[in-house]
Structure 1
């Protein structure tokens, strides 16, 4: 996952709304959003190379997602970030897992940011932040390949659109999905002087500065919207892309049950 917008307790009917893009090399084998056969309480896409995922839901009422923290050339790490998401989904207590097990193993992963939600608390965690984790207050959040709410153009320019899609004056209304899809599909790149310096070439910084990325070998593979309702149901809608463009759409409605 390379871009996440999240609205936490800002909508009267949807305590959590997430819009996200996953960017990856087209050659990396991937399975689209589905209910996992070997772990049937997980609903997510799957990275077939390492067996993990970039974002998913658990039927016991948990959400988790990860982004890479970009800092120069990627280094090999002993643990896969996608399996970190799987662990956050499977654990009965996300906060306890973050405070204990992940606190001990965080540096065994490449640079990461995670957002996790258990129906009550939204938690941000990173192995590149001075604070290992933060329990977030209600509000709007943007996350890419830097730290939470970094002032990157794809976040700062996208956030007003995301907020507008969730607001309708004084009347509660469902989020405007067409506006969210447009937000995720934007291919506009930033000007050179606006680009972050993450230790890669200017050419790659520019390519990666758009919300939707498209190149010969690398690009946005999935755009996903999660709508978590107050009645303990969630809709997860995923649009998939490959080298030739749009591939198809998957959608699931999950009814949560407690532990």
Structure 2
């Protein structure tokens, strides 16, 4: 997952509403979101190379419906090829029995073995953000403040990247309008590139930063693979709706 915006206790009766895009190489095989064999209460996509996931929910379980999502931190100079797959962090929470606080305590204890990431996880009552590159951010590893809209791409929480600012503003507008689900997917399909002066500096060449700057990425070999909308209700069964994205001329594995 490379872009996620989410509302935490903003809408009455819906503690979590999230909209997200997963960006990945087209030749990296993955399954669409569906119940997992052996863990039918887990509804998530699955990375068939690493075995983990990038975003998902549980329909039931010992701690009630749960939600988790992950984005990678863009840091080419820090990347370690032998690091374990970060998707295990999402899979472990959704398939396990620990609540968010206890699970996060385990993650923090071993977080440095992974390449950089953002992890959002929780349930109807508590939602957390943690990044192993979060430094002194006072929100890191602590319950998020209710009544707010948050956004993450491949920087830290609410980093003012153009795609994050753009999508948070549109997301807030759609919530206020009571917009239908299709409107959120339309928001996630925006291919507008950001001006060079507003691009983040992550160690990538400027041509790559330009290519990665839209909400929905299109390029040879790499781009947005799926768009997802999630709702966790105060009462009732949570919802996860996913649409596969396949640019012209590309075949998604």
Q: Under a length normalisation based on structure 2, what TM-score does the superposition of the two structures give?
A: 0.90
Q: How many residues matched?
A: 242
Question: Match of 2:11, SS?
Answer: coil
Q: 1:62 aligns with which of 45, 62, 66?
A: 66
- Using a 3 Å threshold, how does the CA distance of structure 1 residues 246 and 19 change in structure 2: closer, same or farther? farther
Determine if contact 1:161/1:179 at 8 Å carries over to the other structure. Answer: no
> Post-superposition shift, 1:119?
1.5
- Indicate the residue corresponding to 2:238 in structure 1: 234
- Indicate the residue corresponding to 1:251 in structure 2: none
- Indicate the residue corresponding to 2:154 in structure 1: 145
| Per-residue Cα deviation, 1:132-188 (whole angstroms, up to 9, x for no partner) | 5121011100000000000000011121110011113xxxx4x43232112100000
Determine if contact 1:165/1:177 at 8 Å carries over to the other structure. Answer: no
The answer on 1:45 being equivalent to 2:36 is no
- Indicate the residue corresponding to 2:21 in structure 1: 21
| Per-residue Cα deviation, 1:82-141 (whole angstroms, up to 9, x for no partner) | 011011212421211212x21221011110001112211110000001255121011100
- Indicate the residue corresponding to 1:95 in structure 2: 101
In structure 2, distance between residues paired with 1:225 and 1:11: 15
Any stretches of 5+ residues in structure 1 without a counterpart? Answer: 249-259
- Using a 3 Å threshold, how does the CA distance of structure 1 residues 232 and 247 change in structure 2: closer, same or farther? farther
- Indicate the residue corresponding to 1:197 in structure 2: 201
> Post-superposition shift, 1:75?
2.5
The answer on 1:75 being equivalent to 2:80 is yes
Moved over 4 A (4+): 245-248
- Indicate the residue corresponding to 1:257 in structure 2: none
Determine if contact 1:7/1:141 at 8 Å carries over to the other structure. Answer: yes
- Indicate the residue corresponding to 1:159 in structure 2: 168
Question: Match of 1:224, SS?
Answer: strand
Determine if contact 2:100/2:126 at 8 Å carries over to the other structure. Answer: no
Determine if contact 1:141/1:149 at 8 Å carries over to the other structure. Answer: yes
CA RMSD of aligned residues (A): 1.8
- Using a 3 Å threshold, how does the CA distance of structure 1 residues 245 and 93 change in structure 2: closer, same or farther? farther
Question: Match of 2:244, SS?
Answer: strand
The answer on 1:178 being equivalent to 2:187 is no
In structure 1, distance between residues paired with 2:157 and 2:120: 10
| Per-residue Cα deviation, 1:182-240 (whole angstroms, up to 9, x for no partner) | 21000001111100000111111111110000111000000000022221311111001
Q: Under a length normalisation based on structure 1, what TM-score does the superposition of the two structures give?
A: 0.88
- Indicate the residue corresponding to 1:35 in structure 2: 35
The farther-off stretch of 84-93 and 179-188 is 84-93
